[in-house]
């Protein structure tokens, strides 16, 4: 039954809208809103987001595949079932709409409660699977942290904002020292638990407007945003070092762990792309790990005791 879902029907033909509403009521739907144009639909979504959109492709202000494209681009989180007409051309366009981002389509000549309910439930489940898949692509399974490409997207926005405000950015590459030795001595399960625990502590230390990601097995990446002066990057890095101030304990074994940090900085006077900034931070981290230093800035000296 559809009684738990809020449904937005986007249909400008009154007779067709009435027919769909009748079918929805027979399926138990109780929360149904109707919009007669794409503009009205988007306005309604902003004020009262639905769980699913039933979308006619031909509206007074939008026609054909452009209707789906606009809806998907504007509200990509919403599942969409396309309502199509009777002709062969309509079927082809509906199939193209599914390839363009809709989750399912149903023909108006096949509109009866069981078929409509099945299409709606399928579309909702398909969108949920899509969200889970995208979440996995964007987030590390062990720690739940974003992957570096998510930080790259944030960097684009942050660097534009900092260029306007005169603030700075920094990228911190963090690595657990002697991680290979820890893994060899304690095993993969213990090593994974350690990485997850370090990630949890880093989350608590990161500033509200900064962002954290997991790079690889024992390394993390932090985007330090909105820095007034260059030295504030080192201050933020030293704060992150505190995550290893207490030992880590698992399976009746306690271990003291240290991390090293490599820093690279960005400012509007010397703008660099994200990957160049990341490579510089990684090189600084490699030097810090080799020398047992706590924090090293690219092309600079160690800034904190080991």
> Using an 8 Å Cβ cutoff, are 306 and 292 in contact?
yes
Q: Please give the backbone phi and psi of residue 56, each rounded to the nearest 5 degrees, phi first.
A: -75, 135
CB atoms under 10 Å from CB of 180, counted, come to 11
pTM given for the model: 0.64
Q: Give the domains, in start order, of the chain with CATH numbers.
A: 6-136 (3.40.50.2300), 148-297 (3.30.70.270)
Distances (CA, A) of 21 to 37, 144, 284: 17, 41, 63
Q: CA 299 to CA 2: how far, in whole Å?
A: 61
**How large is the C-alpha radius of gyration of the chain?**
26
Which tens digits make up the pLDDT trace of 247-277? Answer: 998 888 888 999 999 999 998 888 899 999 9
Which tens digits make up the pLDDT trace of 128-166? Answer: 988 888 778 889 989 999 999 999 999 999 999 998 999
Q: CA 301 to CA 249: how far, in whole Å?
A: 33
């Amino acid at each position: 039954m559809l009684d738990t879902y809020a449904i937005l029907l986007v249909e400008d033909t009154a007779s067709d809208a009435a027919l769909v509403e009748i079918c929805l009521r027979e399926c138990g739907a109780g929360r149904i809103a109707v919009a007669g144009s794409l503009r009205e639909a988007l306005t309604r979504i902003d004020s009262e987001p639905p769980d699913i959109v039933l979308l006619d492709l031909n509206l007074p202000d939008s026609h054909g595949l452009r209707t789906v494209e606009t809806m998907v681009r504007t509200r990509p989180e919403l599942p969409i079932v396309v309502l199509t007409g009777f002709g062969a051309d309509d079927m082809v366009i509906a199939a193209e709409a599914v390839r363009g981002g809709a989750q399912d389509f149903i023909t108006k000549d096949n509109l009866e409660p069981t078929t409509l309910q099945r299409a709606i439930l399928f579309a909702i489940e398909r969108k949920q699977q899509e969200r889970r898949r995208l979440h996995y692509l964007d987030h590390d399974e062990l720690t739940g942290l974003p992957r570096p490409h998510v930080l790259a997207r944030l960097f684009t926005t942050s660097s534009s904002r900092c260029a306007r405000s005169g603030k700075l950015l920094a990228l911190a590459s963090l690595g657990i020292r002697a991680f290979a030795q820890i893994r060899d001595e304690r095993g993969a399960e213990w090593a994974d638990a350690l990485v997850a625990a370090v990630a949890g502590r880093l989350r608590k230390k990161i500033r509200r407007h900064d962002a954290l990601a997991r790079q690889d097995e024992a390394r993390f990446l932090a985007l330090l945003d909105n820095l007034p002066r260059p030295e504030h990057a080192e201050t933020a890095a030293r704060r992150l070092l505190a995550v290893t101030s207490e030992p880590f304990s698992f399976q009746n074994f306690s271990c003291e762990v240290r991390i090293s940090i490599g820093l690279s900085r960005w400012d509007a006077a010397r703008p660099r792309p994200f990957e160049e900034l990341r490579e510089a931070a990684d090189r600084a981290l490699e030097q810090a790990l080799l020398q047992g230093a706590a924090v090293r800035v690219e092309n600079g000296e160690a800034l904190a005791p080991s």
